[in-house]
Amino acid sequence: MKQVRVVTENRKAHHDYFIEETHEAGIVLVGTEVKSLRAGKVNLKDSFAQIEKGEMFLYNVHISPYDPGNRFNVDPLRPRKLLLHKREINRLLGKVKQQGMTLIPLKIYFKKGRAKVELALAKGKKVYDKRRVMAERDAQREMARALREKERN
């Protein structure tokens, strides 16, 4: 049995991106950030991961300062290092450079007491893609509604 507790999810990601594949990575946190994370005070909106000098970093993740932490609190928007194997980073770097994809966090969770992030290799949706997905979803909803009506009668 896996001991996984989801802290937060990036709900907008599936709306704004086509998700190709996902990867799990550890996050390097300092001091009071873990306590804020456990309290659920984190926001993934507009966050992304980037590879620099063979290491992966997570940007624009807002982990609110822990109230009792006073002077031990750090900048809420600081870049955070992600822990991945070198060959995983190199493979992702190749896909990001060649195929024009981006790395976005889908969710942050605790697994066996350790903070993890689920990273997605994603391609951005255009406005017309979003409209088409919404139209398909509406059509599915209408068909399901019609089937329920038919079964009632």
Q: Identify the structural domains of the chain with CATH numbers, from first to last.
A: 4-125 (2.40.280.10)
CB 40 within 8 A of CB 7: yes
d(CA 106, CA 77): 17
How does pLDDT run along the chain (153 residues), one tens digit per residue?
568 888 888 888 888 888 888 999 999 988 888 888 888 888 888 889 988 898 999 999 888 888 787 777 778 888 999 999 999 998 888 888 888 788 999 999 999 888 999 999 988 878 777 888 888 889 999 999 988 888 887
Residues sharing a CB contact under 8 Å with residue 93, sequence separation 6 or more, in sequence order: 51
Rg (CA), the chain: 19
Which two tokens mark 83? Answer: 């822990």
- Taking the model in full, what pTM does it have? 0.77
- Category of 53 on φ-ψ map: left (φ > 0), alpha (ψ -120 to 50) or beta: left
